[in-house]
Amino acid sequence: MREVFVDRDVLSGDDEAELAALAARVRELAEAMTLTKVEPAEAASVAAEIAALTERLKAARRAHPPFGTVGESGLDRQIANPVTGRLNPLAPPVDIEVSEDGIVRAEFTLPAVYEGPPTFVHGGVSAMIMDQALGMAAAATGTPGMTATLETRYRRPTPLGVPLTVEAKASRVEGRKIYADGTISGPDGRVTVEASAMFIAPQSAPAAS
Ligand SMILES: CCCCCCCC(=O)SCCNC(=O)CCNC(=O)[C@H](O)C(C)(C)COP(=O)(O)OP(=O)(O)OC[C@H]1O[C@@H](n2cnc3c(N)ncnc32)[C@H](O)[C@@H]1OP(=O)(O)O
């Protein structure tokens, strides 16, 4: 288990920036694909071009996603994370900031690829974003952990395509257990999702780099 944390390429800032730019283009591609009205023959032609591009990327392949340079907090090294990772085209990405008082916060907008009920965010996507925000709030206590429980309460539908806010904060630490609570709010400030989670710190913490 420990090897998966230490056996990682750590990218320079320039390498990270280029791959982040590539991920942004792939994100645009996914959105364009979801909404396209092109004819089947054009879709097949585009698919062949994308297959060729995929082969070019696979020509030099890592065993695991790379890490970024460890930042001040140590929380931002997972640059291919599916919520916050600039290098992961599946990530919105949500740019989460952790303040000195341990409050985790981000503003973000989710496009149509995250649709669940028509025009609204898929509940699993909201849960994923909450898991990350709550996990970062737990880690801000100095004791990061694995999600043991995650409870989401969907108060009202979360709209796509408008600015949303996620906030989270740890409430208490009891031995290896860290508890955190958070919300997602719409542009009118009304809470759409509430969540509470409990994280458990591993018996022996992974190496910091
Ligand atoms: C900064 C980065 C943010 C990242 C945020 C995203 C985080 C994630 O998504 S993590 C991925 C999802 N989570 C997982 O895959 C976790 C899978 N589960 C595990 O690895 C283990 O079960 C783990 C680590 C949670 C606990 O295992 P372990 O350390 O062996 O726990 P164990 O010693 O048996 O139990 C410790 C205590 O926790 C309790 N406990 C253990 N698991 C659970 C659980 N799932 N629910 C409730 N209580 C639990 C036990 O009852 C025990 O309580 P007590 O001390 O009061 O008797």
**Residue 7: band (very low, low, confident or very high) from pLDDT cuts 50, 70, 90:** confident
**Structure tokens given for 181:** 């609570």
Tell the residue number behind the tokens 């190496």, with chain if given: 207
CB burial string 33-65: b at 16+ within 10 A, e below: eeeeeeeeeeeeeeeeeeeeeeeeeeeeeeeee
- 205 close to ligand 1 (CB < 6 Angstrom): no
Distance 142 CA to ligand 1 centre (A): 17
**ipTM metric:** 0.96
pTM summary value: 0.94
pLDDT digits (tens, 9 = 90+) for 15-66: 999 999 999 999 999 999 999 999 999 999 999 999 999 999 999 999 999 9
What local confidence, expressed as pLDDT, does residue 74 receive? 62
pLDDT digits (tens, 9 = 90+) for 70-105: 765 666 688 999 999 999 999 999 999 999 999 999
Reported CATH class of domain 97-200: alpha beta
Distance 180 CA to ligand 1 centre (A): 14
pLDDT digits (tens, 9 = 90+) for 124-172: 999 999 999 999 999 999 999 999 999 999 999 999 999 999 999 999 9
Q: Whose CA is nearest to atom 46 of ligand 1?
A: 148
Whose CA is closest to 62, among 113, 11, 17, 127? 11
- 143 close to ligand 1 (CB < 6 Angstrom): no
What local confidence, expressed as pLDDT, does residue 2 receive? 54
